[in-house]
Amino acid sequence: MYLTHRPIQPGDIPAICNFPQGADELFYMFPKATYPLTPVQLSDAIAQRSGSTVVVDKGTVLAFANFYKAEHGGVCALGNVVVAPAARGRGVARYLVTAMIDLARQQYAAREVWVSCFNHNTAGLLLYPQLGFIPFGIEERQAWDGTRVALVQMKQLLS
């Protein structure tokens, strides 16, 4: 794989909508969305957020993320993180999150990058600390099916 990243383009949206493989995965990526993810839901989220970025390999979109909060000189909060099913476990999420940290640094002069991860999202819970994120809080939330879940909040201080 030769991974690159770029700002999202309208033509990327239908492919990204197919990444979440069920209501649980969509909840991890985008808690306010209703499964299945539609181009309208994703486009509305992108319009309200900053830094929407895709990871690409040979023209194929493999991953997506953005910032739901982007304060110049302050905090950038990572959201809507998702990787194509066929690309999982191959370093794509690591590449994506690293690219987003760089974007927070370069475009927003951010002091911190935050990410939140639900307790059932094992891949995320294992990845983020490897990339330097430290847990700082846990909030109770309600999953799409009404069950109680824990949202683990993590941050990375940027130098």
Domain segments of the chain as ranges: 3-116
Question: CA distances (Å), 8 to each of 14, 52, 72, 129, 138, in order?
Answer: 12, 6, 21, 26, 31
Tell me, what's the pLDDT at 115?
Answer: 98
159 or 22, which is more confident: 22
Q: Could you tell me the fold of the domain covering 3-116? A: Aminopeptidase (3.40.630)
- Please state the rounded mean pLDDT for residues 21-37: 97
| pLDDT bracket for residue 40 (50, 70, 90) | very high
* pLDDT tens-digit map of 110-155: 999 999 999 999 999 999 999 999 999 999 999 999 999 999 999 9
Which residues make Cβ contacts (< 8 Å) with residue 158, sequence separation at least 6?
101, 104, 105, 110, 111, 112, 113
